[in-house]
Amino acid sequence: CEQFEKKILEHGGIELFVGGIGPDGHIAFNEPGSSLASRTRVKTLALDTIVANARFFQNDYSKVPGQALTVGVGTVMDSREVIILITGVHKALALSKAIEEGVNHMWTVSAFQLHPKTLFICDEDATQELRVKTVKYFKGLMRVHNKLIEDDDIVNNDNNQTTIETLME
């Protein structure tokens, strides 16, 4: 594990980490209760994680390893950019814990609130536990972002400035 961490540093660190989460909010096998400062290590997997990963072993739980080598939350937090994919209603509670509540080691994905360049990508089903205000806020951001990148002529008024009215069209 120490050699793995050393190799990451020797190669300039992790540029982009892309990962998903479990229904319990774990990321990269950093199960609930993991240290948010953790580094690469061997982790014993929670039963829910073993069950979820059985699909990669012909649904035979006995073939799923009980431990995994994983990068730690701290290791991932050192990445320059992070993308976290969250899909399905079964991960909706984890998404709400990740972005609507405070940082909590019982929901390791919540640590990424503190990362300056984390992008959460989710489908509609994953938003089912979010507050309406949260969904409206992020959809509004997405509309503005899409308008900015799709319309090169957005800066077209007399003062050569973008207006709220232009963005909301």
Domain ranges of the chain: 2-130, 131-169
CATH of 2-130, one of 2.160.20.10, 3.40.50.1360, 3.30.70.120, 2.60.120.10: 3.40.50.1360
* DSSP H helices in the chain: 2-10, 47-53, 73-77, 92-100, 132-150, 164-168
What pLDDT does 165 receive?
Answer: 56
Residue 163 confidence (pLDDT): 54
SS3 of 136, please? helix
Q: What is the pLDDT of residues 6-62, one digit of tens each?
A: 999 999 999 999 999 999 999 999 999 999 999 999 999 999 999 999 999 999 999
Q: d(Cα 152, Cα 52) in Å, to the nearest integer?
A: 44
Helical spans, DSSP H, in 21-163: 47-53, 73-77, 92-100, 132-150
> Mean pLDDT score of the chain, rounded to an integer?
92
Helix (H, G, I), strand (E, B) or coil at 66: coil
Half-sphere exposure of 2 (CA within 13 A, CB side): 0
pLDDT at 145: 86
> Which DSSP state fits 39?
-
Confidence of residue 159 (pLDDT cuts 50, 70, 90): low
Tell me: the pLDDT tens digits for 92-138?
Answer: 999 999 999 999 999 999 999 999 999 999 999 999 999 999 999 99
pLDDT the model gives residue 131: 98
